[in-house]
Amino acid sequence: MAESAPTLLVVSAHAGDFVWRAAGAIAAATLRGERAVVVCLSYGERGESASQWLAGKSLDEIKAIRRAEAEAAASALGAEIEFLDGGDYPLVETPELLNKLVHVYRRVQPTVVLTHPLIDPYNGDHPAAARLAIEARILAQAIGYEAPGEVLGAPPVFFFEPHQPEQCDFKPNVLLDITAAFELKQKAMQCLPAQKHMWEYYTDLAVRRGVQVKRNAGPNLGLPVDTKGEAYMRYYPQVTDVLE
Amino acid sequence: MAESAPTLLVVSAHAGDFVWRAAGAIAAATLRGERAVVVCLSYGERGESASQWLAGKSLDEIKAIRRAEAEAAASALGAEIEFLDGGDYPLVETPELLNKLVHVYRRVQPTVVLTHPLIDPYNGDHPAAARLAIEARILAQAIGYEAPGEVLGAPPVFFFEPHQPEQCDFKPNVLLDITAAFELKQKAMQCLPAQKHMWEYYTDLAVRRGVQVKRNAGPNLGLPVDTKGEAYMRYYPQVTDVLE
Amino acid sequence: MAESAPTLLVVSAHAGDFVWRAAGAIAAATLRGERAVVVCLSYGERGESASQWLAGKSLDEIKAIRRAEAEAAASALGAEIEFLDGGDYPLVETPELLNKLVHVYRRVQPTVVLTHPLIDPYNGDHPAAARLAIEARILAQAIGYEAPGEVLGAPPVFFFEPHQPEQCDFKPNVLLDITAAFELKQKAMQCLPAQKHMWEYYTDLAVRRGVQVKRNAGPNLGLPVDTKGEAYMRYYPQVTDVLE
Amino acid sequence: MAESAPTLLVVSAHAGDFVWRAAGAIAAATLRGERAVVVCLSYGERGESASQWLAGKSLDEIKAIRRAEAEAAASALGAEIEFLDGGDYPLVETPELLNKLVHVYRRVQPTVVLTHPLIDPYNGDHPAAARLAIEARILAQAIGYEAPGEVLGAPPVFFFEPHQPEQCDFKPNVLLDITAAFELKQKAMQCLPAQKHMWEYYTDLAVRRGVQVKRNAGPNLGLPVDTKGEAYMRYYPQVTDVLE
Amino acid sequence: MAESAPTLLVVSAHAGDFVWRAAGAIAAATLRGERAVVVCLSYGERGESASQWLAGKSLDEIKAIRRAEAEAAASALGAEIEFLDGGDYPLVETPELLNKLVHVYRRVQPTVVLTHPLIDPYNGDHPAAARLAIEARILAQAIGYEAPGEVLGAPPVFFFEPHQPEQCDFKPNVLLDITAAFELKQKAMQCLPAQKHMWEYYTDLAVRRGVQVKRNAGPNLGLPVDTKGEAYMRYYPQVTDVLE
Amino acid sequence: MAESAPTLLVVSAHAGDFVWRAAGAIAAATLRGERAVVVCLSYGERGESASQWLAGKSLDEIKAIRRAEAEAAASALGAEIEFLDGGDYPLVETPELLNKLVHVYRRVQPTVVLTHPLIDPYNGDHPAAARLAIEARILAQAIGYEAPGEVLGAPPVFFFEPHQPEQCDFKPNVLLDITAAFELKQKAMQCLPAQKHMWEYYTDLAVRRGVQVKRNAGPNLGLPVDTKGEAYMRYYPQVTDVLE
C-alpha cells in the first residue's frame, strides 16, 4: 500500500472557525503544493451570526451568507471546502452526521487532521465537532465499517486554538511558524467582513504566538522580528526517528 | 550567530540510567554522525549497586566499577561521557553541582537535551536530576550568568521513560523509532553485566514501544514487523513549520 | 440594554437536591430581596425515593410526594419552583428537555446560576443536569436560537457541593457565608421528613464549611463562632474591578 | 439481608477484550471457586476482526466466529459468558442496551465489576462500554428502577489495562498477582488464533506487571522470580478495616 | 528473609497531627496486637501552639507541654512515640533530619507508613514532613546507605486527611472503618485539652467518613448505623491477589 | 482586633515583573486611595538584563539601573517599593530571605497579596518567588514566629499572568477590569525603556484580557469597547456572602 500524498483535513464546527484558528496551517500546506480540505459541520447559522439576525435576515439567507463567506475564505487559502449542514446551537452528534464524516475521511484520505479541542465551557458545538472528528477517524480505520474508499491510516490530529485557551485546558505543544503563510491568512480573514474586529484580534494573536515560536526555537536561530505563529495541541503521540 | 551543529546532551542521575532509557536515541544520533554527550551526576554507587554491596565491595571500588561500565556503554554508543560525582541516595541539588552543569551546557552547546521526568515516587534522585538539568539550561541561557562559553539557545528537553511510567505521570508524546539503532543499544546494555535480567526487560519494552510506533504512524506506512521504539515526553512546545 | 435585577436560577436534577446543597445561597438571596427560581429536572422518583418505594407507593404517588415536599421547601426559602418532569435514573438529555430549559433561561433571565458539578461517580443524573444547565445557558445567549424572551447575558455558574466532594473533583473556590440564612435552610430541610438523618448531616457540613470560611477570611475579621458555610465551585472566571 | 457470594462481572466492549486484559483476574476468581460472568456488549465484528474481513467473511460469519472464540476462552477460564449484540464501531449507548445491562446486574448480583477505563483516544467503544457499565450499576442500585431481582449493593469497579495505558490516563492503583492463574490465561489466549502475535505481547506485559508486583510488594516477601501480574485502576475508594 | 511482623510507622510534622488524623488507624492496629510507632518531626511549638503563646509560655515550656500531651495521646492509643525536634514554622528538610528518619525506618522496620499528603496550601510543614517520610523510606531501602539495621522492604504509604482536603488535592482512595477503634481515638483527643473544639470537629468528620464507608461498602453489608471512618490516600499501587 | 485598611503587597522575583503583569491591579488600588507595596526579591540583574550586559555594564551598574527603573515605575503607579537584593538566576530560597519577607508581611499587614504562579518551565526564579511569598505569609500568621508587628490575618493570594500562561498551568479564575487604571500602567511601562517592544506586547494582552472581561461579564453590561483587563489566578477559596 503506497503512502498517501500529504493532505490536510480541517473539521470545523461552524463556517468561520477554520479561518481564525487554522488559516495559517492551511495556507502553509497549500503553499507547499499540498491538498487541503475544510469540512464545515454547520454554517454557524444560529450561534455565530448575531449581526445577520440583528439585521433581520432569514435562516436560509444567513446560511447562504455564511457559506459564501467560507467559500471565499477557503478559496483565498487555496483549499477545498464542503458543508455537511448538521445544524448548530446545538450541533447534535447524530449517527447520520458521524457517518457522513466517515465517508469524507475515506474519500479524502487525510494525512493530517485539524479540529477544535475537546473542552470549551463557552461553546458546546466545538467539543461536539472534536468528538465527531475523532470518532469518525477511528471508524474510517476499520475495514469492517461500510463506506467507500480505502481504509484510513493513522493521521495525526491537532487541536487548534480556542478563543479562551486557558479555560479550555488548551496547553499548546506545537507552535507552528506561519510567517510565510500569514499574508494569505489575512486575505482569508478579510472574507469575513461582519467580524472586522476579529481581524486585528487574530493578527495580535499571531504576533504573540510568533514571540513564543522565537522563544522556544531559541534566540540564536535568526528568525525574523515579525515571525507569526499559530498554536496547536497534538492529540496522539508524535512518531519520529529524530528527536528535535 | 550561526546555528549550532546537532549535539545531544543526556543528563543522567546515575551511571546506568542513560543506557536503559535513552541508548536508542543516543545511538540514532551518533549513527547520523552527530555528537552525543552523557553527563552522569553520580555513579549510582549507593542506590543502584546492590549486587556490588552484597559482594562486599568498598564505596570507591563500586564507583570505579560503575564508571567503567558506563564508559564502556557510552563507547559502544559512540558517545562521550563525563561524571560530576555529585553523590547519590540522595542526590543533593547543591549550588556547586548546578554550577558545574551550567558549565557543561555552555561548553557542549547542546541542541537537544534528554533527562529524567520530574516525578518518580520510587526514586528521589531522578526528579532531582531533572530539576538540575532544567534549571542549569535556563541559567546557561542568561548572559549575566558567569560561565565560559557562548550563551545557550533554547534546546528542546525530552524526558526519557522511567521504570514505572504510569506512576510517574509519564504520558509519552513522542515515540522514537530506534529500529536501526537497536543493535547498538543491545551492545550498550551488555556492558552492564550485573543487571543481566534488565537486558530482556528493556528489549521487551522496545518491542512494546515499537508496536505503538507502528500503531501511531499508521498501518499503511510499511514499517517493519520488528520495529523498536523508545518513548519520550517533550517538556517545551515543539516549534515547527509543518504539522505532521 | 438595562442590567437585569439580581435573579438566582438553581438547576436541580432531583426534587431534593437544591435543599441540601444550595438552600443557604437561595435563602441569602431572598433575604436580600432578590428573586430565586428553582428548576427540578425530575422528581427523583426512582433514584432518590427509596423509603417511598419500600412503603409500596406507586410511581405517581411518589412523584406527588416529592413535588409537595420540594414546593414546601422552596416556599420556606422564599423561592419559586418549577418541575420539568424529565424522568430520573436515568435523567436522559433529550433535545426536548434541553429546549424547555432554554425557555426557562430566556424567561427568568438569571444573573446567577447554580447547579451540580460535572463529575459524580455515584450518580449519573447529577452530571447530566449540569451539562443541560450549561448547554441551555449557552443556547439562550444566541440570538439565532428560537425561544421567547430577551437573549441571555453571561450569568456566572456555580457548582454546589456533592455528597462525596473529593470523588467528584470538587475543589471549592468559593466559600459562602450562610450564617444569617441558616435558619431558613434548617426550615427547608425539615420539609423533607423522609430524610431526617440528613438534617444533622448537612448541619454538620455547614459547621465544617463555616470553619473554613473563618480560616480563609482570616482570624482577625471577627466572624462569629457559629459561622455557617456552603462551598461552591465557580465554573467561569470571576469578573471584578477589585481584587479581594 | 445476607451478603452475596463472591461473584465477578466483566463488562467487555468486544468479544476478545476480556481475554487479553482480565483473564488473570477471572481465572484467579474461578480457581478460588467463585463465579465469574463475562458480558460482551458486542462481538467486535466490525472494528476488531480485520483478518476475517480480509478473508472475505460475511458479517454474520464474523459474529459467529468471534462468539465461538469468546465462548471457548471463557470456558478455558471457567467463566460464564453472554452476548448483548449491541453492535460495534460505534458501540451506541442506547437506552435498550443500558436496560439489558441493568437486568444483568440485578440477575448476577456481582460483588466485583471489571470493565474498560473511561478514556481511550484510540477506541470510542471502550469508554462507551465503561460508561454503560458504571451507569447500569448505579441504576441497578435503585429500588425504583424496574427490573427483576434484588436491588444491587455497591460492588467495587476496577478498570483493566488498555493497549496504550499512558494515553488513556491509566494510572494503576492495584497490581494483581496472577502467577497461579497465568496458565489458564495462556490457554484462554490460545482460543483466539487469529491474533497469535498478541499471545507473546500479553505474556510480556504479564512479566512486566509481575516485576512491578514484586517491586511494590517489597523485595523481602519472597515472591517467585516468574511472578506475573495484571494492572487495574480502582474507580471507587477501597473500604477496609486494615491498612495494608 | 522472613516477612516482618506488622508494624505501623506514623510520620507526623507536629506533635498533635497524628491524633486528629490517624488515631483510628493507630488504635485499630494496636487493638489487633500490632506495634505502632509515632515519630513527631517537631513539637509544633511555633505554628500550632497559639494558646500557649497567648498565655505567655516560653519556647521550652511549650515544647514540654506539647511533648507531654503527645505522649499521653500515644499512650492512650497503645503506641510508642519519639520526637526528632526538627523545629517547625518552618520545618526545614535538612540532611541531618532526613538521616535521623532513615535510622528510624531501619530500626523500626515498618510494614505500613502513614504521613501527611504532599500538598497543603495552608501549611508548608505538612508537605515537608511527607517529602521527608517518602525520601527516607527510599533511602532506607538501599543497601548502600549507611545506617544500622536491615535494609527496608517496600511498606505501603498512606496519606492521612488534611484539614481542608479539597484544597490539598486529597482524593481518598481508602476508607478505613474505625468503628471499633473510635473509643480510643476519643480518649487520645481528650489528651489535647487546649484544642477542645477539635474534639467535636473530628468526631463529626469520623461520622461523615463513616457514612462514606457504608455507602462504598454497599447498603447490604449490615454495617452499624454508627460506623466511623477515616480517609486515606494510598501513594503506591496496592499489591494483592484478590480484587475486592 | 480591627480589620486592617486595604493594603496590597506584590512579591516580584525581579525588578520589572510587577510592571508588566500587575501594574493594572496596583494602579486600581492606589486610584481607590489604598496603599500598595511592591517587594522585589532581586533586581533581575543576571537573568533579565541582557541589553545592559551586552552594553558592557558591570553588575553593580546593572543593579542600580534596574532599581532606578523599578522605583520610577512604582512611583508612576503611586506605590511604595523595596528591594531585598536576594540575587537572581538562580533566586535561592534561603532562610534569611524567607525571614526578611516574613518581616515585610508583619510590618505591611497586607490584605491582598499578588505574586507569580507556582509553575514556570522557562524561569526557575518565578516559582521560587511564589513559594517564598506563600511560605512567608503562613509563617507571619503564627504567633510563635518571632518577628515584630501584629500576627497576620489571611489575605487572599493571587497569581499574576506569566509570559506563556498555558505552559505554566495558568488558568485564570479572576479577570480584573483595569480600564480606568490602564493609563497609569502605560506610564509605568514607559519607565522601562530597554524593553520598548514589551510596551506593545502588554498593551495587546490588556486588550485581549479586556475582551474576555466583556465576554464573561455578559454582553448586556455595557462595558466600553476599549475595556482593558489583567488575568489572575486565586490560590485560596474566595470568601463571600454573595454569589456573583
Domain ranges of chain C: 7-234
- pLDDT surpasses 90 at D68: yes
Pick the CATH number of F7-234 from 3.30.1360.120, 3.40.50.10320, 3.10.580.10, 3.30.9.10: 3.40.50.10320
Contact A177 B240 (CB under 8 A): yes
Give chain E's end-to-end CA distance (angstroms, integer).
Answer: 29
Neighbour subunits, D (≥3 Cβ pairs < 8 A): A, B, C, E
Return the closest-CA partner of residue A228 out of B170, B241, B162, B6.
Answer: B241
Which of A23-27, C218-222, D32-36, F73-77 has the lowest average pLDDT?
C218-222
Q: What percent of chain E has pLDDT over 90?
A: 93
Q: Does residue D213 or residue D194 have the better pLDDT?
A: D213
Looking at the DSSP bridge assignments, the partners of residue A112 are A8
| Cell numbers placing F217 | 461579564
Instruction: Pick E208's closest partner by Cβ from C171, C204, C215.
Output: C204
Q: Does residue A75 or residue A197 have the better pLDDT?
A: A75
> What are the tens digits of pLDDT across the range A94-138?
999 999 999 999 999 999 999 999 999 999 999 999 999 999 999
pLDDT class for E3, splitting at 50, 70, 90?
low
Residue F115 distance to chain C (closest CA, Å) = 13
pLDDT value at position E2?
45
- pLDDT surpasses 50 at F1: no
Contact A217 B239 (CB under 8 A): yes
> What are the tens digits of pLDDT across the range F23-42?
999 999 999 999 999 999 99
Q: Which residues of C touch D235 (CB under 8 A)?
A: 121
Side chain identity, residue C174:
V
pLDDT value at position C1?
40
Return the closest-CA partner of residue E74 out of E29, E129, E134.
Answer: E29
Yes or no: say if D74 and D80 are a contact pair by the CB < 8 Å rule.
Answer: yes
Residue B171 distance to chain D (closest CA, Å) = 5
Q: What whole-number distance in Å separates Cα of residue C217 and Cα of residue F240?
A: 9
> What are the tens digits of pLDDT across the range D161-210?
999 999 999 999 999 999 999 999 999 999 999 888 899 999 999 999 99
Nearest CA in chain B to E235: B121
pLDDT class for D123, splitting at 50, 70, 90?
very high
pLDDT value at position B56?
96
Q: What percent of chain D has pLDDT over 90?
A: 93
- pLDDT surpasses 60 at B2: no
> What are the tens digits of pLDDT across the range E15-46?
999 999 999 999 999 999 999 999 999 999 99
pLDDT value at position A222?
80
pLDDT value at position D141?
97
Return the closest-CA partner of residue F142 out of E21, E123, C208, D124.
Answer: E123
- pLDDT surpasses 90 at E76: yes
pLDDT class for F197, splitting at 50, 70, 90?
confident
pLDDT class for B197, splitting at 50, 70, 90?
confident
Burial C7-37 (b: 16+ CB within 10 A, else e): bbbbbbbbbbbbbbbbbbbbbbbbeeebbbb
- pLDDT surpasses 90 at E220: no
Contact B216 A241 (CB under 8 A): no
Interface test with B, best of F42, F46, F65 (most B CBs within 10 A): F46
Mean pLDDT of F167-185: 98
- pLDDT surpasses 90 at B220: no
Residue C170 distance to chain E (closest CA, Å) = 7
User: Longest Cα pair distance anywhere in chain C, in angstroms?
Assistant: 56
Beta-strand pair E157-160/E229-234: antiparallel
Contact B135 F124 (CB under 8 A): yes
Q: What whole-number distance in Å separates Cα of residue C152 and Cα of residue E187?
A: 57
Looking at the DSSP bridge assignments, the partners of residue D82 are D39
- pLDDT surpasses 90 at F168: yes
Helix (H) or strand (E) holding B177: strand B174-177
Return the closest-CA partner of residue F236 out of E201, C243, E48.
Answer: C243
B44: which residues sit within 8 A by CB, 6+ positions away?
A: B13, B14, B15, B16, B17, B66, B88
ipTM rounded to 2 decimals: 0.95
Contact A208 F215 (CB under 8 A): no
| Cell numbers placing B187 | 551492545
Mean pLDDT of D217-232: 87
- pLDDT surpasses 80 at F3: no
> What are the tens digits of pLDDT across the range B88-116?
999 999 999 999 999 999 999 999 999 99
pLDDT value at position D3?
57
Q: In what order do the strands lie in the sheet with F112-115?
A: C238-240, F174-177, F229-234, F157-160, F112-115, F7-12, F35-40, F80-83
- pLDDT surpasses 90 at E197: no
- pLDDT surpasses 80 at D220: no
Residues of chain C with pLDDT under 70: 1-3, 219-221
- The answer to whether A208 faces chain F, any CB pair under 8 Å, is yes
Residue E224 distance to chain D (closest CA, Å) = 13
pLDDT value at position E22?
98
Interface test with D, best of B48, B51, B159, B164 (most D CBs within 10 A): B164
- pLDDT surpasses 60 at D1: no
Contact A144 D54 (CB under 8 A): no
Q: Which residues of B touch D231 (CB under 8 A)?
A: 166
Which of B42-46, D15-19, D22-26, D217-221 has the lowest average pLDDT?
D217-221
pLDDT value at position C222?
80
- pLDDT surpasses 60 at E104: yes
> What are the tens digits of pLDDT across the range A181-234?
999 999 999 999 988 889 999 999 999 999 999 999 986 668 898 999 999 999
pLDDT class for B243, splitting at 50, 70, 90?
very high
Side chain identity, residue E39:
V
- pLDDT surpasses 80 at F203: yes
Mean pLDDT of B130-146: 97
> Three-state SS for E228?
coil
Q: What whole-number distance in Å separates Cα of residue A53 and Cα of residue A62?
A: 8
Burial F206-239 (b: 16+ CB within 10 A, else e): bbbbbbbbbbbbbebeebeeebbbbbbbbbbbbb
Yes or no: say if F146 and F102 are a contact pair by the CB < 8 Å rule.
Answer: no
Q: Give the D:E interface size as CB pairs under 8 Å.
A: 123
